[in-house]
């Protein structure tokens, strides 16, 4: 079932097959400049695993025996709204509370680039860490893109997750593309959050973030983010 709506409020990151242990997250009182650089899991290719299926999910307030499909479950859209609030306010504690404790949060800034995974503890500091992640090869320059989350990923998220973004369930909403946009996690439910671009650039500056969700303790949690844009 497909659902497309316009977000009414500020709204709204694949698990790699080979995980590398991460460093301990810095204490909450540590200054950003003193934050230890985490050894995040970075992999060059997608290795999706079944995390969430189309099986109907009971709502907490449902009557006994009443179930609802993923696309009809308002908790998924509420999760995206909460993520949108976390990125607009750069609230690491809020973001961490939304991340799947089972899979962590995969972030792919380039659709065929590297996958950077943040577990719950590292998600708390994602807005302040200076860790220079390798996001993969830029489709524009052909060079590797290195940078902190707040310099590379955050500006794009803040541009896309706005009240006018288009939210679509289990379908990629994109603008004009020179490639076939595909959601790489075959068994994971997701929403696409689409920014249609501007008239100034003929809509070629569109962006879409696809948000995959894992079911943890009976509720949807953030598991994967994949970025789609126009590519030359």
**How confident is the model at residue 41, as a pLDDT?**
58
Q: Name the strand (E) or helix (H) holding 166.
A: strand 166-169
Q: What is the dihedral of CA 217, 218, 220, 221, to 10 degrees?
A: 0
Angstrom distance (rounded) from CA 160 to CA 51: 25
Task: Examine residue 129 and state whether it is found in any structural domain, yes or no.
Answer: yes
Q: How far apart are the first and last CA of the chain?
A: 33
Map 49-66 to HEC letters: CCCCCCCCECCCCCCCCC
Task: Examine residue 207 and state whether it is found in any structural domain, yes or no.
Answer: no
Q: Does residue 127 register a pLDDT over 90? A: yes
What is the percentage of the chain residues whose pLDDT exceeds 70? 71
Domain count, the chain: 1
CA–centroid distance for 26 within its chain: 23
Instruction: Write out the residue range of the structural domain in which residue 37 sits.
Output: 4-17+31-196+223-229
pTM, whole model, 2 decimals?
0.73
**How confident is the model at residue 217, as a pLDDT?**
87
Task: Examine residue 81 and state whether it is found in any structural domain, yes or no.
Answer: yes
The whole-chain average pLDDT of the chain stands at: 80
Task: Examine residue 205 and state whether it is found in any structural domain, yes or no.
Answer: no
**How confident is the model at residue 54, as a pLDDT?**
30
Task: Examine residue 167 and state whether it is found in any structural domain, yes or no.
Answer: yes
Task: Examine residue 139 and state whether it is found in any structural domain, yes or no.
Answer: yes
- DSSP letter (8 states) at residue 110: S
Structure-token pair, residue 117: 């995974």
SS3 146: strand
**How confident is the model at residue 70, as a pLDDT?**
94
Residues near 121 by Cβ (< 8 Å), separated by ≥ 6?
A: 22, 24, 25, 96
In terms of Cβ atoms closer than 10 Å to its own Cβ (0-12, 13-18, 19+), residue 178 is exposed
Task: Examine residue 143 and state whether it is found in any structural domain, yes or no.
Answer: yes
Among residues 15, 6, 20, 2, which one has the least CA distance to residue 213?
A: 15
Angstrom distance (rounded) from CA 133 to CA 114: 9
Q: pLDDT tens-digit profile of 186-227?
A: 999 999 999 999 999 999 999 999 999 999 989 999 999 999
Q: Does residue 7 register a pLDDT over 50? A: no
Task: Examine residue 73 and state whether it is found in any structural domain, yes or no.
Answer: yes
Q: pLDDT tens-digit profile of 16-37?
A: 333 434 444 444 434 444 444 4
**How confident is the model at residue 163, as a pLDDT?**
83
Q: pLDDT tens-digit profile of 58-98?
A: 334 444 445 578 999 999 999 999 999 999 999 999 999 99
- DSSP letter (8 states) at residue 65: T
**How confident is the model at residue 17, as a pLDDT?**
39
């Amino acid at each position: 079932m497909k659902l497309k709506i316009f977000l009414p409020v500020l709204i709204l990151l694949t698990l790699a097959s080979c995980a590398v242990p991460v460093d301990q997250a810095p204490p909450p009182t540590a200054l950003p400049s003193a934050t230890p650089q985490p050894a995040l899991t970075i992999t060059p290719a997608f290795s999706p695993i079944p995390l969430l299926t189309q099986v109907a999910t009971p709502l907490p307030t449902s009557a006994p025996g009443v179930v609802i499909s993923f696309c009809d479950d308002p908790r998924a859209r509420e999760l995206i709204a909460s993520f949108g609030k976390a990125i607009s306010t750069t609230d690491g504690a809020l973001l961490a509370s939304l991340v799947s404790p089972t899979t962590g949060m995969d972030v792919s800034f380039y659709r065929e680039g590297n996958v950077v995974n943040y577990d719950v503890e590292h998600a708390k500091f994602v807005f302040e860490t200076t860790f220079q992640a390798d996001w993969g090869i830029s489709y524009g320059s052909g060079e590797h893109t290195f940078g902190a989350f707040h310099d590379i990923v955050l500006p794009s998220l803040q541009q896309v997750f706005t009240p006018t973004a288009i939210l679509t369930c289990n379908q990629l909403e994109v603008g004009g593309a020179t490639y076939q946009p595909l959601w790489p996690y075959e068994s994971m439910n997701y929403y696409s959050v689409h920014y249609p671009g501007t008239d100034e650039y003929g809509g070629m500056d569109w962006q879409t973030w696809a948000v995959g969700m894992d079911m943890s303790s009976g509720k949807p949690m953030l598991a994967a983010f994949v970025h789609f844009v126009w590519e030359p």
